[in-house]
Amino acid sequence: MAKALVLGSGICGSAMAMMLARDGHDVTVVERDGAQVPASVEEAVEKWERPGVAQFRQAHYMHARFRHTLEAELPDMVDALVRSGARRYDPVAEFLPPTIEDRAPRNGDDRYVTITGRRPMLESVFATAVVNEPNVDVRRGTKVSELLCGPEAVSGVPNVVGVRTENGDEFRADIAIDAMGRGSKLTEWIGAMGARPPEEQAEDCGYTYYGRYFRGDLPKQIGPALSAHGTISILTLPGDSDSWMVVIFMASGDMPLKTLRRKEVWEKVLLAHPSKAHWLDGEAVGDVDTMSGIMDRRRGFVVDGKPVVTGLLPVADAWACTNPSFGRGVSLGMWHAQELRHFLRQADGDPAENAIEWNARTAATHLPWYDAQIAMDRARVREMDALRMGEEPPPPAPDDIVAQMQQAFFTAVEHDADVFRAFLDVMGCLATPEELLARPGMFEKVIAASAGREPTRFPGPNRQELLELVGA
């Protein structure tokens, strides 16, 4: 079997390494962060530093796709996570709207159940497992400085055969995987060789996040976990063991709301929203964590039908990343790793064909998720900006069928049991909205359940009241 090199040992990188090792490959994992993996979950949560993962301390939620992938590819990791406190979470039980009359459980509802927890817990479990995985050599604190290239498979295109570190060490492999996440340096390294860079689409998602952890008895969800409240949105997520996290986020240009970084202001704003205020009923852990400047970014490694690099394939956030408000990053990234495992099992060894085919497969399975997230980000930021200026957000244009159907779908979720489960398919990263609407009768159900109705709006302060709460 082949020698494989995985760049990055986050959750998806570690999972990728274990999958490849279990397929018989000799795997080396190179990780720039040098801190050793903590001996306990508590130490990981309280002390572990991962400067290479900007969102390490922010809220995370693993969707059903995450559990499905682990059960299929790394079933022992499900048990390892549960032993470390990961929470089994049932969205049907937690989110079924009170306005739906058909409340009977159904065969197949267990497909929506997930296991989730805080990022430090999740990553520490994977980091411990990958170190103990046979045929995997993990090199932490190893900073890559450049790519090593061998004979070209395509004229003028670098063919990667390994990497060189800042210390001058070399790691060679038959196949390399970029699992470096949002901070991937691959574009920079390719550019340093004078090669054509990947095609990149990037924009600031437009949000600033203010999140805080709590401990205690997990509060009940009232309404959706992610809810829009005028010029802010509120996200309430379960963590592992007895933990949870609440995030308030707003448009980054909304300067008066920057005082949300102060915990007394943050608490006042949450208390002013009756459907969310009870999420304060626990022991607060630490201060308010702030995050901004998050990029929605996608990289195309095949340009004009020609790969920009061969011998190295991107996975998860190294290929595309979006804002974390929907919590899809790790779940879609794990699925991407699963797809790459199966792809490499049948790949014919031709570096050029592999690069082109992997790019095509990724576009078919994952690009729709990226495009949908970008559209929702832009629409929500436009709505926030309009409300901030004292204007009513414009309704969907008569010829914008997609936006109209999205609005109808979110209304119908509250009134039809089938549409509600379809919504969980989308939120669980199990099916795209386009796939759902293609199901027989689903389009008609959405139209019928949304006719003459508006989505529920939960009580809370208006813009002027919000400004008074934050001291503006």
CB atoms within 10 A of CB 93: 12
Question: What's the pLDDT score for residue 177?
Answer: 98
CATH class of 207-292: alpha beta
Question: What's the pLDDT score for residue 136?
Answer: 98
Question: What is the b/e burial string over 326-343, where b = at least 16 CB atoms within 10 angstroms of the residue's CB?
Answer: bbbbbbbbbbbbbbbbee
CA 292 to CA 258: how far, in whole Å?
11
Q: What is the mean pLDDT of residues 35-40?
A: 92
User: CA end-to-end span of the chain, whole Å?
Assistant: 63
CB atoms within 10 A of CB 395: 10
Q: What is the mean pLDDT of residues 431-445?
A: 91
Q: What is the mean pLDDT of residues 385-406?
A: 78
Q: What is the mean pLDDT of residues 408-422?
A: 94
pLDDT band for position 231 (cuts 50, 70, 90): very high
Residues 460 and 277 sit within 8 Å (Cβ to Cβ): no
pLDDT band for position 401 (cuts 50, 70, 90): low
pLDDT band for position 448 (cuts 50, 70, 90): very high
> Model-level pTM?
0.95
Beta strands in 221-315 (DSSP E): 226-229, 232-238, 243-251, 283-292, 295-300, 302-303, 306-307, 312-314
Residue listed under structure tokens 């005082």: 259
Instruction: Name the average pLDDT for the chain.
Output: 93
Q: What is the mean pLDDT of residues 279-292?
A: 94
CB atoms within 10 A of CB 347: 17
pLDDT band for position 368 (cuts 50, 70, 90): very high
Q: What is the mean pLDDT of residues 130-142?
A: 97
159 pLDDT higher than 90: yes
Digit-coded pLDDT (tens) for 164-220 = 999 999 999 999 999 999 989 999 999 888 889 899 988 888 899 999 999 999 999
Residues 140 and 34 sit within 8 Å (Cβ to Cβ): yes
Residue ranges of domains in the chain: 3-19+135-203+296-369, 207-292, 371-450
Question: What's the pLDDT score for residue 402?
Answer: 67
Strand partners, 313: 177
The vertex-389 CA angle with 384 and 390, nearest 5°, equals 100
CA 376 to CA 364: how far, in whole Å?
20
Question: What's the pLDDT score for residue 433?
Answer: 85
Q: Which of 453, 425, 451, 400 is nearest to 91 (CA)?
A: 425
Q: What is the mean pLDDT of residues 347-357?
A: 91
CA 153 to CA 160: how far, in whole Å?
10
Question: What's the pLDDT score for residue 324?
Answer: 82
What does the block give as tokens for 192? 């340093």
Q: What is the mean pLDDT of residues 264-283?
A: 97
The vertex-156 CA angle with 151 and 160, nearest 5°, equals 45
> How is domain 3-19+135-203+296-369 classified at the CATH fold level?
FAD/NAD(P)-binding domain (3.50.50)
Q: Provide the residue type at 48 as one letter.
A: W
1 pLDDT higher than 80: no
| Cβ-proximal residues to 194 (8 Å cutoff; 6+ apart), any chain | none
What does the block give as tokens for 269? 């704003």
399 pLDDT higher than 80: no
With pLDDT > 70 as the criterion, what percentage of the chain qualifies?
99
What does the block give as tokens for 24? 């018989």
What does the block give as tokens for 13? 């990188």
Q: What is the mean pLDDT of residues 297-320?
A: 95
Output the 3-class SS for 91-103: HHHHHCCCCCCCC
